[in-house]
Amino acid sequence: MEDRRRKQAGHLAGQPEPFWTRLRAIALYPVHGAALWSMIALSLCALLGLLPGIGWFLGIIVSLATYRYAFEVLRHTANGHLDAPDYGMGLGDGAIGRLLLLTILAIAGVILVALFTRSGALTLLALGAVVLLAPASTISLAMDGSLRRALNPAVPLALATRIGWPYLAAVCLLFVILASALTAAAWLGRFMPPLVSHLTVNFMVTWGLFSIFHLLGYLVYQYHEVLGFEPDALADLRRPDPDQRLLDEAEAHVRDGHPKEAREVLRGAIRGRAVSLAVHELYHRLLRKDGASPELREHGQQFISRLIAEKQDRRALAVLRETLEQDPDFVPAQVEHAILLAERARLGGQYQLACDALQAMLRTWPKRSESLQWSLDAALLLAERYSRDDEARALLGDALARCEDDEQRRRLEAALNALGPQAAPVSTR
């Protein structure tokens, strides 16, 4: 553990190693730590797809869970963490659904070019552009959650241009990894019984997927300066942690299979004195493994307040997102902090996070004077970003019922009118 920490700190102290010098580590990334156990569990769960009747539905769920973890691998690596992230079973901030929609729209675009131009050359050109920009679009979608930005060719093109020729090398490497995983899966599958063959194919494909998303994340980490991205781990590893002994003790308990003892050690320190952010980080991660709880809520509020006080709004947003995944009603301890983070999420393109935070704020503080504006902001996000017009109408209708200010009422009514009349239910008779 200590050797790995020193090695990672060495990477962050200067420039990260070029990804082409870490090909072996990238290829073997899925067989270490939480990534290995996630890969085994997901491959076993993929066998549920063989069940008659509901197998197709269970297969979709497992695929969504696989891509959910792959996105976490990308984000975790981009933030300077070279180990595998812990697995969370939630579907997160909706990025997986947007990835599916992004893929569908990209394929549809190529098909439309083929239909309208009837030109093989132009169709191949469109296909090549989609393939070339797909990794950059995936990075954009994973990092800020905005489908609109990911679909805008200028965004992935700008990302690729800033990185330069290494981006092209990384794209080629992605296809090498994918082709190798598929070839190995097909070759092994021919010599095994059907059930074992299905398990092997899923294992190898998942291996390739995790390696690809780890490479994409490392590309962001390696070129974070030119991309204007600040890895979360950068500041923490540049200076020695004053609570390193406490962290080592807690991590020893975790390695020995005693997470409860680790939480007890960290809880006592946090309640007894001021501790470093790394201690809060580890404690928060251990609490999230147990799901929603009063303790997770209490510490999440304390952790966010500390992060905001130290001007680490980006990390505070990440803690807010992680805690909302476990507890949809979670809000920061102070209204001002909640408003700040919701606005930062919106400005940063994390629209699903902003929407979830605003709705949690409405449920927690429905009588606040700002709640009418929260309803309006959340309704606009639901309608404009996700076409969830019925939910937007419900929020606006509830706000109008509570509104006593004429100016605010006009704004709410204008937003409600812009949505148009609610569609009548389709009769089944």
Q: Using one digit for the tens of pLDDT, what is the confidence trace for 176-193?
A: 888 888 787 778 777 777
**C-alpha–C-alpha distance, residues 258 and 34, integer Å:** 16
Which pLDDT value is given to residue 182?
79
Give the pLDDT confidence of 198-253 residue by residue, as tens digits.
788 888 888 888 999 999 999 988 888 777 777 876 655 555 667 888 888 888 88
CA distance 256 to 271: 24
What span, in angstroms and rounded, lies between the C-alpha atoms of 94 and 64?
A: 10
- Residue 70 burial (10 A CB sphere; 0-12, 13-18, 19+): buried
Domain residue limits, the chain = 2-230, 366-419
Residues 414 and 400 sit within 8 Å (Cβ to Cβ): no
pLDDT at 89: 45
Quote the CA–CA distance of 200 and 203 in Å, as a whole number: 5
Is residue 260 within 8 Å of residue 254, measured between CB atoms? no
* pLDDT computed for residue 4 by the predictor: 45
pLDDT of residue 6: 44
Q: Are 219 and 67 in contact (CB under 8 A)?
A: no
What pTM was estimated for this model as a whole? 0.54
Name every residue whose Cβ is closer than 8 Å to that of residue 304 and which is 6 or more positions away in sequence: 316, 319, 320, 332, 333, 337, 341
Indicate the residue type of 46. A
CA dist list (Å): 302 to 135, 331, 386, 415? 37, 11, 32, 36
The one-letter amino acid code at 283 reads Y
- The confidence score (pLDDT) of residue 423 equals 53
Tell which residue, 216, 65, 66, 42, has the closest CA to residue 141. Answer: 216
CA distance 87 to 244: 25
Give pLDDT tens digits for 16-51: 788 888 888 898 999 888 888 888 888 888 888 778
pLDDT tens-digit map of 380-422: 988 888 888 888 888 888 888 888 888 888 988 888 888 777 6
As a whole number, mean pLDDT of residues 299-324 equals 90
The pLDDT of residue 241 is 67
Cα–Cα separations (whole angstroms), residue 363 to 318, 360, 409: 21, 5, 20
18: Cα separation from own chain's centroid: 24
Please give the average per-residue pLDDT across 344-360, as a whole number: 88
